[in-house]
Structure 1
Amino acid sequence: MGEKEEAFKGERMSNEHKFRLFHVGGREGGIGPAGILFQLGKNLSLSVFEANLTEDSSLEMFDKGMEGYAEQYSIEISIMQQCLSDCVGKKEFYINMEPSCSSLLKVSPLALNYQRMHGEKRIIWGEACQPANTIEIDVTTLDELYNNHIIELPHFLSIDAQGAEYDILVGASKALEDNLVGVITEVEFRELYDNQKLFSDQFTLLRSHQFNLFDLYSQEYWYSSHIIGSGALMVAEALFLRDLNYFIEKDKEPNLLFPNLSKLAIAAFVFGKADYAFQITKYMVENWPEEWRTYIEQSNTEFLYGLMEFYWQFKRRTLNE
């Protein structure tokens, strides 16, 4: 094989093992629980989608924070000034007194008196979401960006969009029907924004695409009147991982199966779901031993070697019990 062929093969293998993470929103708090994927380092590609609000100076600060992550973890990062939704067109965007609560949705009249403590600060939802300004903004979908060859489809999707998460998932149908291995999405168990979709709606949508709920992070307990007792679970960030049988049934052949199942196993392992990572890896080792070994060697990626080291350590431990 000549130098050009070797270079092409190396580039193809490199792209095949690149883990594409998309994060939508959440400029006030980084990218939330999905930040644990930063440990993939140079094998991670991060695209951040944020509405371009001319009156909001926090985007510049967010950009600088992302640049810091890129340097610290050797991550490939791109910032895309796109407001994602379930359609292509224009929508009203509500810039609220508390900028981190700004949304495509109005505050729910049912939630005006909800409150909680954030450190020493009392947050009253109706006050935080009082609009300081309302603007008309262009919205699009991940499907539209993909159809126009602006993006490749992600392997992992993280969404923190102040009540608009369900709409963004609806607009990401091509990713849901392709090789997406995981989703972290902010969920509400009661209505905070007017007519928003709740946890049950997102759960039903993701289950229809063979995603299973694995965890709830960043749980927030709110109070409907006075701050006494433990409050009610109102907000969380939900981790969903794809059922491995989705890929087994869809891909069948190892050259299609390995890239997807290896990313699913890595995501499970990184998020601490070691039993699931072991189950996925065991399937590949037992059903395609030679092909899987060759795939690992050709990938020459640290996180896949780490996955196999975990697998064999656990395998030996169970054999000795």
Structure 2
Amino acid sequence: MTVSRMLRLLPPGVEIVLADVGSAGGLKSRWREARSVVSALLFDPRDDGAPAKKGRDTYFPVGLGKTVGRATLNITELGNMSSMLPPNVELLKTFRKKGAHTKIVSTWEMPIDTLDNIAHRELISVDVLKVDTQGTELDILQGAEKCLASSVFLAEIEVSFLERYKGQPLSDDIVAFMRARGFDLIDLYRLKRYRHLNHSGVGNIGLGGGQRAGRIAYGDAIFLLREELLLERIRILSRLDAQGLALKVIVALLVYGKADTASRLFDLTADLFDEKIRQELTRFFRRLGRPYAFIGGKGLHLILDYLARKV
């Protein structure tokens, strides 16, 4: 049973609501297998228009922040480094290519709202939150306090390890904010390095021990609602709703390659499931736990790991 086949275990009408803030290029491919039950909230800031539905997804004509208002977007030479914060030019010019990449070529004013306002107005419960906005991630999280407290169980947040933009909160600030709201850091991935300019032209080389040149600049942090808080959210619901929420969390964890955590959650919530679903999930995780569980010559656990890394 793959992730996509597991989706049929979800009660009718149950979906995973994913708020993707900074979704240039659309949803990450990791969600492909689960796409049939994912409804995405996407944000396309502009001054005209209303929220628009496109298939399962809803597009909102605003940027997000911690308060309602307006903000200026600094559009840079390399478009995906554009930010509402000014680039830290003095720092970035010491790294290869980054000084040129962050040259501001234009600015654009845009409307700002909060995720909490949108969720309340549209009667939406957000399950998974992904934020990648080049330095304003903490502002967006501060505008999503109610969502984090009531419905979000997993978050993927870009964190920076150096101040790429002036006044930017760093990884420590994001981790502390999420920890204070009951979310544990469970993984870091897509770690990117900046390499220093130097007269000798030394760049991307490794000198022993598997270490590469460069300084870690940023990456994506994965946060999961602390186990006791997650179980409290699940068990306060009716049996059918509790089963649906537990299954949503299990699917999301598998999408992120966290099969061990998904299996533990099943252990802790197995009594909530109907007998047929419980048996199917038991078979699924037992097969996943066998070191030689082969499908088409590849271990299912290896396939899931591969899918999780295809981002």
Give the deviation of 1:219 after TM superposition. 1.6
Tell me the distance in 2 between the aligned counterparts of 1:283 and 1:251.
11
Query: SS of the counterpart of 1:218?
Result: strand
Same amino acid, percent of matched pairs:
25
Query: SS of the counterpart of 1:95?
Result: strand
Which residue of structure 1 aligns with residue 114 of structure 2? 141
Q: Determine whether 1:168 maps to 2:135.
A: no
Q: Structure 1 residue aligned with 2:78, among 94, 98, 110?
A: 98
Which residue of structure 2 aligns with residue 246 of structure 1? 229
Which residue of structure 2 aligns with residue 79 of structure 1? 59
Which residue of structure 1 aligns with residue 36 of structure 2? 42
Distance 1:316 1:137, change over 3 A: closer
Tell me the distance in 1 between the aligned counterparts of 2:267 and 2:11.
23
Give the deviation of 1:77 after TM superposition. 2.1
Which sections of structure 2, spanning at least 5 residues, go unmatched? 1-9, 206-212, 292-311
Tell me the distance in 1 between the aligned counterparts of 2:34 and 2:282.
15
Give the deviation of 1:111 after TM superposition. 2.4
Which residue of structure 2 aligns with residue 14 of structure 1? 12
Query: SS of the counterpart of 2:193?
Result: strand
Which sections of structure 1, spanning at least 5 residues, go unmatched? 1-11, 55-62, 71-75, 117-123, 298-303
Give the deviation of 1:315 after TM superposition. 7.1
Query: SS of the counterpart of 1:177?
Result: helix
Which residue of structure 1 aligns with residue 155 of structure 2? 183
Tell me the distance in 2 between the aligned counterparts of 1:262 and 1:241.
15
Contact 2:20 2:130 in 1 (8 A): yes
Q: How does 1:1-321 map to 2 (within 5 A)?
A: 13-15=11-13, 17-27=14-24, 29-32=25-28, 35-52=29-46, 76-116=56-96, 124-147=97-120, 149-150=121-122, 152-226=124-198, 227-228=202-203, 229=205, 230-253=213-236, 255=238, 257-285=242-270, 288=271, 291-293=272-274, 296=277, 307-313=281-287
Query: SS of the counterpart of 1:180?
Result: coil
Query: SS of the counterpart of 2:93?
Result: coil
Contact 1:50 1:82 in 2 (8 A): yes
Query: SS of the counterpart of 2:141?
Result: helix
Tell me the distance in 1 between the aligned counterparts of 2:124 and 2:94.
40
Distance 1:162 1:180, change over 3 A: same
Query: SS of the counterpart of 2:12?
Result: helix
Distance 1:295 1:96, change over 3 A: farther
Tell me the distance in 2 between the aligned counterparts of 1:222 and 1:23.
26
Query: SS of the counterpart of 1:115?
Result: coil
May I ask how many residue pairs the two structures share in their alignment?
266
Give the deviation of 1:275 after TM superposition. 1.1
Give the deviation of 1:308 after TM superposition. 4.4
Contact 2:23 2:42 in 1 (8 A): no
Contact 1:179 1:260 in 2 (8 A): no
Question: CA offsets per residue over residues 284-312 of structure 1, 9 Å max, x none?
Answer: 12xx2xx4116949xxxxxx95x444224
Question: CA offsets per residue over residues 7-46 of structure 1, 9 Å max, x none?
Answer: xxxxx9533x21111111141x4334xx312211321111
Question: CA offsets per residue over residues 112-162 of structure 1, 9 Å max, x none?
Answer: 31435xxxxxxx222222111223221111011123x23512110111111
Structure whose residues are more often helix by fraction: 1
Tell me the distance in 2 between the aligned counterparts of 1:37 and 1:129.
30
Contact 1:110 1:191 in 2 (8 A): no
Tell me the distance in 1 between the aligned counterparts of 2:289 and 2:236.
25
After TM superposition, the score normalised by the length of structure 1 is: 0.74
Question: CA offsets per residue over residues 227-269 of structure 1, 9 Å max, x none?
Answer: 5351011111111122221122345345254333322222112
